[in-house]
Amino acid sequence: MRGDAHGGFCERRRMKLPPPTLLVVMVSGQRNHGEALREEVTAVLAPLGLRLSPEKTCVVHIDEGFDFLSMHIRRMCKRGTQKRYVCTKPSRKAIQAIKDKVKAKTYRSTRHQDLDELLTSLNRTLAGWANYHRYGVSKATFNAVDSHAWGRIMRWIRAKYKGKTRLGMKQMGVRRPGHRRLPAEVFLGEDRAAHHGQRLGITR
C-alpha cells in the first residue's frame, strides 16, 4: 500500500461531499500482519481527519470471502479439480435487494398499470443489475433471479386478468428454447418480452 493519501476539501456552503471511500487491502501473510497493517492505515488517515469505519473494517482470509461493492469475493476450488481461483459473484445482500425491487414493482398496488408499462420498468431494473454483475460467476444467480421475477410476473398477471382470460398458468408461461417461460409474449409479442439475465453473456 502507498504511504501517501490524497483528500479533496471544499469550503463552499451547501456543497455535497463525496460518499465514504471503500478500500480493500490485500496482504500476503498471516492474520496478525493484516491487523498490524490496519493500525498503520488508521495512523495514516488520522492526520487527514479520516477514519476507518469499525463496523465495515475487518480482516478475513480470502478463503472465507468478503463483500465489496455488492460483490462477494472468495477463493474456491474449481469443481472436479484441485485448482483454486478467486471468484466474484453477487453478494447475498445484492441478490435480496433486486428481489425486493421486483417484489415492490409487482405488488398488488401496481395492478392499475398496463402490462407493457410493468415489463418496461422491470426490464430497466433487471438489465441494469445484470449488466453490473455480469463480470463474475453469476450464471446460477441470474437463473435464480429470473425464476423469482417470472413467478412474480405470473402472479401479477393472474390477479390482474382474473376472469378475463381462459389462459391458465401453463398457457401463459409459453415454453421457449432453453425451457424458459416468457409470459409477456402472450400479451405483448416477442419484441417486448421480459428481460432474462441468463441470456446475458458472462465475462470472467
**More confident: 58 or 99:** 99
Dihedral over Cα of 177, 199, 97, 87: its sign: positive
Q: Which of 48, 21, 200, 43 is nearest to 128 (CA)?
A: 200
The grid cell for 95 is 441478490
Name the band, by pLDDT with cuts 50, 70 and 90, for residue 197.
Answer: low
Which residues is 136 bridged to in the sheet?
Answer: none
- Averaged confidence pLDDT in the chain: 76
User: Over pLDDT 70: what percentage of the chain?
Assistant: 68
Which residues is 88 bridged to in the sheet?
Answer: 73
* The pLDDT value given to residue 95: 95
Residue 182 pLDDT > 80: no
* Rounded Cα–Cα distance for residues 39 and 57 (Å): 11
How many Cβ atoms sit within 10 Å of the Cβ of residue 148?
15
**More confident: 93 or 197:** 93
What is the residue extent of each domain of the chain? 92-199
- Of 109-118, 137-146, 160-169, which range is least confident? 160-169
The SS3 assignment for 28 reads coil
Q: Can you tell me which residue has the cell 456543497?
A: 15
* The pLDDT value given to residue 9: 38
* Rounded Cα–Cα distance for residues 122 and 101 (Å): 9
Across the range 155-180, mean pLDDT stands at 61
